[in-house]
Homo-oligomer: A and B are copies of this chain.
Amino acid sequence: MPRTTDGDGTPVPQRLLAAATRLFAEQGYDRTSVQEIVEAAGVTKGALYHYFGSKDDLLHEVYARVLRLQQERLDAFADADAPVEKRVRDAAADVVVTTIDNLDDASIFFRSMHQLSPEKNRQVRAERRRYHERFRALIEEGQRTGVFTKETPADLVVDYHFGSIHHLSTWYRPNGPLSPQEVADHLADLLLRALRP
């Protein structure tokens, strides 16, 4: 058997990605050396450059993982068979819980976009835009059917809510007084109250 799972049981590429995620979140992308990553994963540079093309690729993988996960979840909630009000609420609360469950991913996501190569940056932006559009469409549906106020442009509403998601990794602490679900409920309440006609 090749040594793909040397030492611990999980395969090397995943160990590398996990180590990179943690270190990027703790110290930032630029402050984390490739050497640190391979040491944390218990391998050497040879292994890293066997599986990934560059340090940049590693970061890109983190983005791809987050984007895929969030888009899947949003689609599921948005396509559900329920009144708009409930679909928005569920989607808005879910993204909060998911973000808190992966706080490392979140802090990397919002702090390190500009360290991606221009090409990968564009790709991530495009994916992110798809996500934004889907959410906006939901809000607009509510506005058209009269459940939500039309006073604020849907775009702005989406940016308003995702600002607070973005901000979570700055202030949320797992040992704080509120559980992820409680935070999610409060933030979803705020959004829905702001949308009330």
Interface string of A167-197 (1 = CB under 8 A from B): 1101100000010000100110111011110
Asked whether, in the complex, the Cβ of B159 is within 8 Å of the Cβ of A190, the reply is no
Q: Copies of this chain, how many? A: 2
Q: Provide the bound-state CA to CA distance between A126 and B146, in Å.
A: 44
Residue of B whose beta carbon sits closest to that of A161? B164
What's the minimum C-beta distance from A96 to chain B, rounded to whole angstroms?
11
Contact for A166 among B27, B167, B178, B191, CB less than 8 A:
B167
Interface string of A29-61 (1 = CB under 8 A from B): 011000000000000000000000000000000
Main secondary structure of the interface of A (DSSP, over half): helix
Given A159-B164, A194-B193, A196-B193; A186-B28 close (CB under 8 Å)? no
A31 CB contacts on chain B under 8 angstroms: 30, 115
A190 CB contacts on chain B under 8 angstroms: 152, 156-157, 160, 194
Interface residue? A149 (CB, 8 A): yes
Interface residue? A165 (CB, 8 A): yes
Q: Provide the bound-state CA to CA distance between A171 and B163, in Å.
A: 10
What's the minimum C-beta distance from A109 to chain B, rounded to whole angstroms?
11
Contact for A160 among B30, B149, B187, CB less than 8 A:
B187
Contact for A167 among B167, B183, B191, CB less than 8 A:
B167
**Pairs across A and B, CB under 8 Å, 26 listed:** A28-B30, A30-B30, A110-B170, A111-B111, A111-B114, A149-B193, A151-B186, A151-B189, A152-B186, A156-B178, A156-B183, A156-B186, A156-B187, A157-B190, A159-B164, A159-B167, A159-B171, A160-B187, A162-B167, A163-B165, A163-B167, A164-B164, A166-B167, A190-B194, A193-B196, A196-B196
User: Which A residues contact B (CB, under 8 angstroms)?
Assistant: 27-28, 30-31, 110-111, 114-115, 149, 151-153, 156-157, 159-160, 162-168, 170-171, 178, 183, 186-187, 189-191, 193-196
